[in-house]
Amino acid sequence: MSKVNGATIGIDLGTTFSAFAVMEGGQPVIINNAEGARTTPSVVNIKEDEITVGQVARNQAIVDPMHTVRSVKRKMGTTEKVVIEGKEYTPEQVSAMILQKIKRDAEAYLGKEVKNAVITVPAYFNDSERQATKNAGQIAGLNVLRIINEPTAAALAYGLDKQDKESTILVFDFGGGTFDVSVLELGDGIFEVKSTAGDNHLGGDDVDQIIMEWIADTFKKNTGVNLLDDPTAVQRLKDAAEKAKIELSTKMKVNINIPFITADQTGPKHVNEDLTRATFESLIADVIKRLEMPVKQAMKDAKLDASGIDKVIFVGGSTRIPAVQDMVEKLVGKT
């Protein structure tokens, strides 16, 4: 391998969130972004040539959809363009804007220039999608050392390459916007993707949407007001729904309280509802069903049953939902 100059970071360029890490003392360490968070929303807002990336852009997504680009990863490798204010952008150019923010934030953390990156992609990405990811890195001023499969990166992060025996690993990756299951075979430090399945239009965002609609329905029954007609209310509902989902991973009940969400002749109105984990699980029963099929499919394609899987690893915030963990445990027979 030729000598690599400058600092190198690892980047998980996600559909809804991205993260980046650096090797410190032989261990990968996640770098906090300029806002102090471990993940950066993969959202770009372009207004009169002013580009905003991350949480600020995500906050504007509902109020200002005309200038906001989300989930651009789904367009990678296609000729589809993003058009804002009459100007066209390729998916690579938009992804490069996200990568530029990551590069800047990493440089601020490291105190030196970041020249190189290793970027992850889904195992099912084809050559043109992989090449587009590489091009995005180059546009952002990064030398892309290599593109690696996300399930392989996850297995490396868990240190599974250090094992001395051959093993079969199921990687269950349920992120903000996409869901992938991969079966990996590991032997002599080499990972081979045996099968991959999933649904690239299913993620934590769908769970948030279900909670949002439940809050809005309950509110409409009580007040006759439809909150989904008001973009500002929708943004607040979305934030509250996501918070409730996260809390329900550790609590049996959460209180959803949004003061002054709207007003009518009688005065201001507030959202104040309790959501129990049992109600939450019944609301997302369909999502859980949709997660089951790809797991069965990936095992079938790899010609394995549950006894052939040595380990299961979870990736993505939405895998913290207890109902998701229970379902995988039942299917694979392993914690």
Residue positions annotated with a catalytic role? 12, 73, 150, 173
Look-up of token digits 């993505």 = 316
Using an 8 Å Cβ cutoff, are 141 and 29 in contact? no
Residue 244 CA from chain centroid, whole number: 18
Distance (Å, whole) CA 40 – CA 147: 20
Distance (Å, whole) CA 329 – CA 268: 46
How deeply is 163 buried, as exposed, middle or buried, from its count of CB atoms within 10 A (0-12, 13-18, 19+)?
middle
How deeply is 315 buried, as exposed, middle or buried, from its count of CB atoms within 10 A (0-12, 13-18, 19+)?
buried
Sheet holding 167-174, edge to edge: 190-199, 179-187, 167-174, 311-315
Distance (Å, whole) CA 254 – CA 59: 23
Residues in the chain: 335
Where on the phi/psi map is residue 70: left (φ > 0), alpha (ψ -120 to 50), or beta? Answer: beta
Q: 142 CB contacts (<8 Å, ≥6 apart)?
A: 99, 103, 114, 115, 116, 117
